[in-house]
Structure 1
Amino acid sequence: MTTSDYPETPPGKPLWLMTLADLALLLVGFLVLVQASQHLGARDLAKGIRKGFGAPVAEPTPMPVAAAGMLDFAPGSAIMPTSPGALVAWAREAGRDPRMMLTVTGSTDGTPADVDPTTGSAAILAADRARTVAAALSAVAPSRVTIVTTTKPGRRAAIVSLAFVGEPQKTAPMQKIAPMRTMP
């Protein structure tokens, strides 16, 4: 096979010009992205980019920093064994910081005696223990208390963990509307 076997290339633009055009379009696209994202926060911009590329948008998991709890429930019971005063005081102090979230995790010890008396379910008893403690904490900050149950055998308890969830979402400042003028 020789070079005469190949067809002649038609006259056209040089190859470097196409590369330059691609580079210019990428630069314009980047500048449009920078301009459009000027009014977005870093989290909103990251969410938008992830959504645009079809990646799952996952909320960050809270980072636990402290824990307290109500321990030694009676087997098969969700009634608190002691007064929750100290736990509520601890949660009230922790709840002052708007960046913190309280998570109440109920658990059972895994024995046949430590189940819900009505249903025979350890998971329901663990949820009842968590709800009982969460109800005691509801006066602290009800919007920042979540309930979790565990099915792993552990201790007859309801553990309250304090987790750092980050800065609270900032709301856009309200714009002032100029008063209407009436025409005479």
Structure 2
Amino acid sequence: MQRFESFCGSAAPLPRDNIDTDQIVPARFLARRRADGLEAALFHDQRFDKTGTLVESFALNRPEHRGAQILLAGNNFGCGSSREHAVYALLDYGFRAVVAPSFGAIFFQNSLLNGLLPIVLPQRDVNVLLVAAAGGTANSFYISLERQTITTGATSFTFDIDPFRKECMLLGLDDIDFTLRQLDAIIAYEGGSGDPSLS
């Protein structure tokens, strides 16, 4: 997965509670291959009307929020089914982080496993960021995973993250990559020479 260290970008506000994974990616798009990209499926039924025309009032379609890399969401974001496609679609669209007061548990873990940073902040802090995001691309947000901070202007908030998941994201390692880094120790523990093709 892509390494996550720090970046500066704009934020799009979508502060509705209980946005589930079926809203993030409708079920009919689940047969699509990841290699083909899922950015068009993201919030499809909210971004487009029944004729396929962009809904101008939807946050991601507004000119000032196009190209945003941070999504500011409401409580329980990503609840519902466990589909990883929800995370893939957010990444393919260009998002690097989602900030919310709470997340669906499986979505939260899927995000960490695939390089999308889920940031949990109190509602009062999210509200401050929502006000800043009203300026669209004119407002920049800086996220440092190393320092565990999100900053806009003179305002900075600190977030928590599991130390192991933080290390994996900083290094760009998914679970398989991390396991393969321990290959020598695994071979030594098993007491064999191992498969040379894995060395």
The two structures have a TM-score, normalised by structure 2, of: 0.24
Rg larger in structure:
1
Structure with greater helix share of residues: 2
Name the TM-score, length of structure 1 as normaliser.
Answer: 0.25
